[in-house]
Amino acid sequence: MLAPSATGRGIVQFAYEPLTDDEYRRLAAWLEDYPEMTLRVYSSATIHDLEFLRFFPSLREFAADTL
């Protein structure tokens, strides 16, 4: 669930299971309003395939952690 960010800064994180393409699109659209927000992913399954980053062409900050 994505709510407006009061500061426009922080971390949006998802883990374990990759999102659906529609969820990636919704998240990418939301992040466009917050260029100082970091997208963080932690999951060994997701990190092996970074293709999902194609949904985030304007993303400035990205972090990936493996378990």
How many structural domains comprise the chain?
A: 1
Task: Give domain status of residue 50, yes or no.
Answer: yes
Task: Give domain status of residue 15, yes or no.
Answer: yes
Task: Give domain status of residue 57, yes or no.
Answer: yes
**What is the spatial distance between Cα 10 and Cα 3, in angstroms, rounded to a whole number?**
13
Task: Give domain status of residue 54, yes or no.
Answer: yes
Beta bridge partners of 13: 40
Residue 2, judged by CB atoms within 10 A of its CB (0-12, 13-18, 19+), counts as exposed
Instruction: Residue 19: give the domain boundaries.
Output: 10-65
Task: Give domain status of residue 3, yes or no.
Answer: no
Q: What is the pLDDT of residues 20-65, one digit of tens each?
A: 999 999 999 999 999 999 999 887 555 567 889 999 999 999 998 8
Does the pTM surpass 0.85? The reply is no
User: Whose CA is closest to 31, among 39, 23, 42?
Assistant: 39
Contacts of 39 (CB under 8 A, 6+ apart): 11, 12, 13, 27, 31, 56, 59, 61, 62, 63
Task: Give domain status of residue 45, yes or no.
Answer: yes
